[in-house]
């Protein structure tokens, strides 16, 4: 199987993935590849059906800005950011 190093559009995490998996994820997220954590968070956001995050693109944008915010502070992990997002 073909393995490719791919980078998460949200948090910048790099992962070795099969090309099949990469294209599968890209199909779901408007041509962007998200790591497991980020895609999970975006999916949650979409499933909750918030008015502002009712589609994948909106949810992805929300999650990306959250990721960027927490990336600037290495003490806070993405998981913490997600917990905060769920509380909102
Ligand atoms: Zn990520």
- pLDDT tens digit string along 6-58? 999 998 999 999 999 999 999 999 899 999 999 999 988 888 876 555 588 88
Q: Separation of 88 CA from ligand 1 center, angstroms?
A: 20
Instruction: Give the chain's domain count.
Output: 1
Q: Which of residues 34 and 68 earns the better pLDDT score?
A: 34
3-state secondary structure of 5: strand
In sequence order, the 6+-apart residues with CB closer than 8 A to the CB of 59 are 42, 43, 45, 46, 53
Burial 41-70 (b: 16+ CB within 10 A, else e): bbbebbeeeeeebeebebbbebbbebbeeb
Q: Separation of 39 CA from ligand 1 center, angstroms?
A: 7
3-state secondary structure of 57: helix
Q: Which domain holds residue 45?
A: 3-87
Q: Separation of 51 CA from ligand 1 center, angstroms?
A: 23
What residues have a C-beta under 5 A from ligand 1, the ion?
8, 10-11, 13, 35, 38
């Amino acid at each position: 199987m073909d393995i490719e190093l791919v980078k998460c559009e949200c948090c910048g995490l790099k992962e070795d993935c099969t090309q099949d998996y990469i294209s599968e994820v890209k199909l779901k997220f408007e041509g962007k590849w998200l790591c497991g954590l980020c895609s999970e968070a975006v999916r949650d956001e979409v499933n909750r059906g918030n008015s502002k995050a009712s589609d994948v693109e909106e949810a992805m944008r929300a999650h990306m800005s959250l990721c960027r915010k927490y990336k600037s502070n290495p003490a806070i992990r993405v998981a913490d950011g997600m917990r905060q997002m769920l509380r909102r």
